[in-house]
């Protein structure tokens, strides 16, 4: 347990919060900015004395329950929550549910990518945001609220164009779903998706039993589009680690026939 570092981290986060950010009234100006120790203790459902000792690097190792309460009281991001558990020398319990909302700034970024198709997927391969070019490339149904690429790949749900890299993508999907199952064992929506895939796809069951491993990055796929013809596309993944999400950028090599097709399509859907 890194007592001094933990104490400093708690003080910094407490002093960086304002009462209105945690639902507390601001009645009179405060001599020192930030929350008071007793306010954090109350929000975290712990004694003021215990919290004070933690900030003074005198307290015992806090339990996961206490750490979780502090993370909520201090409005920590997932990355900050993980850091808090590491400082306390305690294994971080798995998250409750995968994040299924896209950050506004990430959603706005999708609209600022000319000649690039872009989608955002959550930890269970649900499509939670996409731009017009991606929808034109991958099917209009991509914009639906229940679109899930795992269901598309293994159950044939939704409008899916044939890809020459479909077999590779199947292993990528299963590897990510396995990671999600480990991280969110109590996520009912994820559990229902996995049950649906096991029942509906022998291929999914076989790949799942093979325990595939995949690291997000670059890959190339060939898409057989019904109106645009055969396209050779690059898929690059940017991570949103705080939310366990991926931004997939779909481009074509500069000067290639596929790049010209994307440019014309982007102009049509703009």
**pLDDT tens-place string over residues 40-73:** 999 999 999 999 999 999 988 999 889 989 998 9
Among 32, 62, 87, the domain boundary falls at 87
Tell me, yes or no, whether 9 and 68 share the same domain: yes
Asked, for residue 226, whether it belongs to a domain, the answer is yes
Tokens found for residue 202: 């022998």
State the pLDDT confidence band at 161, using cuts at 50, 70 and 90: low
Q: What is the mean pLDDT of the chain?
A: 88
Tell me, yes or no, whether 194 and 83 share the same domain: no
Asked, for residue 199, whether it belongs to a domain, the answer is yes
Tell me, yes or no, whether 37 and 125 share the same domain: no
Average pLDDT over residues 131-160: 80
Asked, for residue 98, whether it belongs to a domain, the answer is no
Asked, for residue 214, whether it belongs to a domain, the answer is yes
State the pLDDT confidence band at 99, using cuts at 50, 70 and 90: confident
Count of the separate structural domains present in the chain? 2
User: CATH number for the domain including 41?
Assistant: 1.10.260.40
Measured distance CA(200)–CA(203) in Å, rounded: 9
Cβ 178 vs Cβ 208: under 8 Å: yes
Measured distance CA(185)–CA(221) in Å, rounded: 32
Q: Nearest CA to 222 among 262, 164, 167, 183?
A: 164
Among 61, 87, 113, the domain boundary falls at 87
User: CATH number for the domain including 218?
Assistant: 3.30.450.180
Does residue 183 surpass a pLDDT of 90?
Answer: no
Report pLDDT for 28: 66
Cβ 107 vs Cβ 120: under 8 Å: yes
Tell me, yes or no, whether 259 and 128 share the same domain: yes
State the pLDDT confidence band at 97, using cuts at 50, 70 and 90: confident
Does residue 210 surpass a pLDDT of 80?
Answer: yes
Asked, for residue 40, whether it belongs to a domain, the answer is yes
Residue 32 CB-density burial (10 A; 0-12 exposed, 13-18 middle, 19+ buried): exposed
Report pLDDT for 243: 86
Tell me, yes or no, whether 82 and 167 share the same domain: no
Buried b / exposed e over 169-187, threshold 16 CB at 10 Å, is bbebbbbbbbebbeebeeb
Tell me, yes or no, whether 115 and 64 share the same domain: no
Strand partners, 220: 234
Higher pLDDT, 215 or 262: 262
Tell me, yes or no, whether 32 and 162 share the same domain: no
Among 60, 87, 114, the domain boundary falls at 87
Locus of tokens 């950010």: 21
Measured distance CA(135)–CA(122) in Å, rounded: 17
Measured distance CA(108)–CA(240) in Å, rounded: 14
Find the Cα–Cα–Cα–Cα dihedral 204, 120, 144, 150, rounded to 10°. 0
Higher pLDDT, 206 or 95: 206
Dihedral sign computed on CA atoms, order 10, 246, 177, 156: positive
Report pLDDT for 242: 79
Report pLDDT for 67: 93
Higher pLDDT, 109 or 99: 109
Please give the angle made by the CA atoms of 190, 174 and 93, to the nearest 5 degrees: 50
Tell me, yes or no, whether 62 and 150 share the same domain: no
Say how many CA atoms lie within 13 Å of 120 toward its Cβ: 24
Quick: pLDDT tens for 135-146. 998 876 676 556
Q: Helix, strand or coil for residue 233?
A: strand
Q: Which domain holds residue 231?
A: 104-269
Strand partners, 245: 240
Tell me, yes or no, whether 141 and 111 share the same domain: yes
Report pLDDT for 160: 58
Asked, for residue 81, whether it belongs to a domain, the answer is yes
How many helices, marked H, and strands, marked E, lie in the chain?
12, 6
Tell me, yes or no, whether 168 and 210 share the same domain: yes
Cβ 207 vs Cβ 174: under 8 Å: yes
Per DSSP, 114 falls in state T
Q: pTM value?
A: 0.70
Report pLDDT for 172: 93
Per DSSP, 140 falls in state G
Asked, for residue 188, whether it belongs to a domain, the answer is yes
Asked, for residue 63, whether it belongs to a domain, the answer is yes
Report pLDDT for 186: 85
Tell me, yes or no, whether 79 and 193 share the same domain: no
Tell me, yes or no, whether 118 and 81 share the same domain: no
Does residue 224 surpass a pLDDT of 90?
Answer: no
């Amino acid at each position: 347990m890194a007592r001094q570092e933990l104490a400093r981290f708690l003080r910094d986060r407490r002093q960086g919060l304002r009462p209105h950010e945690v639902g507390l009234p601001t009645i009179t100006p405060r001599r020192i900015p930030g929350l008071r120790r007793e306010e954090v203790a109350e929000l975290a459902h712990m004694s003021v004395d215990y919290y004070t000792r933690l900030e003074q690097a005198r307290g015992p190792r806090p339990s996961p329950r206490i750490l979780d309460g502090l993370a909520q009281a201090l409005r920590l991001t997932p990355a900050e929550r993980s850091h808090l558990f590491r400082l306390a020398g305690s294994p971080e319990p798995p998250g409750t549910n995968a994040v299924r909302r896209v950050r506004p700034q990430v959603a706005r970024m999708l609209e600022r990518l000319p000649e690039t198709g872009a989608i955002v997927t959550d930890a269970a391969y649900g499509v939670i945001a996409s731009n017009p070019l991606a929808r034109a490339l991958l099917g209009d149904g991509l914009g639906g609220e229940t679109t899930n690429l795992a269901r598309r790949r293994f159950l044939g749900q939704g409008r899916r164009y044939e890809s020459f890299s479909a077999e590779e993508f199947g292993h990528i999907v299963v590897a990510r779903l396995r990671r999600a199952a480990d991280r969110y064992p109590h996520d009912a929506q994820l559990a229902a998706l996995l049950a649906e895939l096991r029942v509906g796809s022998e291929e999914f069951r076989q790949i799942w039993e093979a325990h595939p491993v995949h690291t997000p990055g670059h890959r190339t796929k060939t898409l057989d589009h019904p109106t645009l013809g055969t396209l050779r596309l690059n898929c690059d993944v940017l991570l949103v680690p705080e939310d366990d999400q991926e931004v997939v950028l779909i481009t074509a090599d500069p000067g290639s026939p596929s790049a010209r097709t994307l440019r014309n399509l982007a102009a049509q859907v703009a």
